[in-house]
Amino acid sequence: MTSISRRAGLAATLAAALAGAASAAAPASATTRALAASRAPSRRLQSDVDAILATGVSGVVAEVGSAGGRVRARAGVADLAGKDPVPWDAYYRIGSDTKTFTATVVLQLVGEGRLKLTDTVERWLPGAIRGHGNDGRRITVTNLLRQTSGLGDYLAADSGDFTPEAYRRNRFRSQTPREQLTAALGRAPQWLPDADDPVGERRWGYSNTNYVVAGMIVEAVTGRPWAQEVHERIIEPLGLRSTFTPGTSPYVPQPTALGYTHFPKGDGRKETGPTETTLGFGGGADGCLISTARDHGVFLRALFAGRLLRPAELTAMKTTVPVRDWVPAEGVRYGLGIAWRPVAGREGGVWFHGGTSLGCVCESGVTADGAMSVTSAAFTLRLDDEKANEAQGRAMLRMVDAALG
């Protein structure tokens, strides 16, 4: 039970004691109901976190937050070689959940009149997207944020080399945004956005390159680093004291839990080991942020409560297109740096994104009004077993649905 819940229980007990004219049975019953209600969310969250652990992860931490306080749960260990539990306020890489922060900064610039969603990449980064059929004159800011540009993913070149040896070889290697973009442009695009389809509704394809370019545009518009804009526009105003951009450091600070990656092997074997030092996998505006469950929840609630964007820009963020290959969720629609999916029994569904880095998988959700959020991290990434990976993903989605349902 959280401290907020304990205070609620004590308040109910005090109220019963002061109701001197009432019979003893009535206030006792009210107190029991109040205490039971305060414990119920914590018990359910713990049960769902235990279910995630049962899929084979090393450790899990989760938090449900609202204006009334927060409920937390954890399971597993911080290090498979020891017995210490996952720290309550563990730092972790939030991976592609960074994209929601980046989209928010871009939309703030739109609200300030310094940028338009209809601006092309060519407008801000002349000549940056060329070669092998790629054309920045046909890609808009909306296309980037909504993942409808057709740009190839710069990570695709390494997708067949997820091995322990490759990890050890590259874990301290950094890439500049220009280098990442160059890698993506070394192959033909998946498609070019249709001139008569400005919102990009005909095709959708997830690519980290889109947000690398979005970060470059932020710097072109403001004349300042993307990291500085994120800090001064979001992190500092919201008091996110445990959220930061690590720059070229491959380390996650303490307290944290070791992240484990199950690497695929060509001969059917796998090697599992801690992957706590990772730099080259999502190192900028597409996926570099380090945060905590508490801070991430504060950000999501503030965003959907309208504290970071004006109504017009928040509406644009929540204007979505259908997604057909978001596994394991179904019925997903993608907006500008945020996704939506239906949830049985919840009118309005859930807004979410999710993030993955070597050794860590994040899942989160927030209500449409920003009243409640759930954030979590599982410190194991399964690259060796598609069914195990999907089971872990579905367990994390069930936790989010139950918490916000």
Helix, strand or coil, per DSSP, at residue 190: coil
- CA 338 – CA 342 distance, rounded (Å): 14
The residues with which 61 forms a beta bridge, in sequence order, are 74, 377
For the chain, the average pLDDT equals: 87
346 vs 361 pLDDT, higher one: 361
Q: List, in order of start, the domains of the chain with CATH numbers.
A: 3-12+44-404 (3.40.710.10)
pLDDT tens-digit series, residues 291-317:
999 999 999 999 999 999 999 999 999
162 vs 372 pLDDT, higher one: 372
The pLDDT of residue 20 is 31
The pLDDT of residue 15 is 30
Identify whether 225 is preceded by a cis peptide bond (ω within 30 of 0): no
Q: Residue 352 pLDDT > 60, yes or no? A: yes
What is the 8-class DSSP label of residue 234?
A: I
The pLDDT of residue 24 is 34
Among the ranges given (54-63, 116-125, 277-286), the one the predictor scored with the smallest mean pLDDT: 277-286
When mean pLDDT is compared over 18-27, 40-49, 53-62, the highest value belongs to 53-62
Dihedral of the alpha carbons of 191, 315, 94, 76, in degrees to the nearest 10 = -120
CB atoms within 10 A of CB 172: 13
pLDDT tens-digit series, residues 229-254:
999 999 999 999 999 999 888 889 99
CB atoms within 10 A of CB 11: 12
Q: Residue 341 pLDDT > 90, yes or no? A: yes
pLDDT tens-digit series, residues 166-177:
888 888 888 899
Q: Residue 185 pLDDT > 70, yes or no? A: yes
- The pair of three-digit structure tokens given for residue 394, joined into one six-digit string: 């579905």
pLDDT tens-digit series, residues 376-391:
999 999 988 999 999 9
- The pLDDT of 205-231, averaged and rounded, is 97
